[in-house]
């Protein structure tokens, strides 16, 4: 199935959303978000991809802090 608009367009606000969900989501949910974020980053570049990579660092820290 072809992606509309090209690779990487779906990540525009994902880093912002991750940082918001870190505050309240449980470890299982955060782990699922991490999996999706890694998939979104395959072949992605630019400022949005950089933001998502930075958010992944925060996400990994939150998972560790919550015992995951």
How far, rounded to the nearest angstrom, does the alpha carbon of residue 20 sit from its chain's CA centroid? Answer: 11
The pTM score is 0.76
Q: Whole domain around residue 31: which residue ranges? A: 26-68
Residue 53: predicted pLDDT = 93
**pLDDT digit string (tens) for the chain, length 68 residues:** 334 344 545 677 888 899 999 999 999 999 999 999 999 898 888 998 999 999 999 999 999 999 87
Please state the φ and ψ torsions of residue 48, each to the nearest 5 degrees. Answer: -65, -40
The total domain count for the chain is: 1
| Domain membership flag for residue 16 | no
Residue 20 lies in a domain: no
């Amino acid at each position: 199935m072809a992606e509309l608009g090209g690779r990487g367009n779906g990540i525009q606000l994902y880093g912002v959303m991750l940082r918001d969900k870190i505050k309240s989501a449980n470890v299982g949910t955060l782990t699922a978000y991490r999996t999706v974020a890694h998939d979104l980053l395959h072949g992605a570049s630019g400022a949005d991809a950089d933001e998502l990579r930075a958010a992944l660092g925060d996400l990994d820290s939150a998972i560790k802090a919550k015992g995951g």
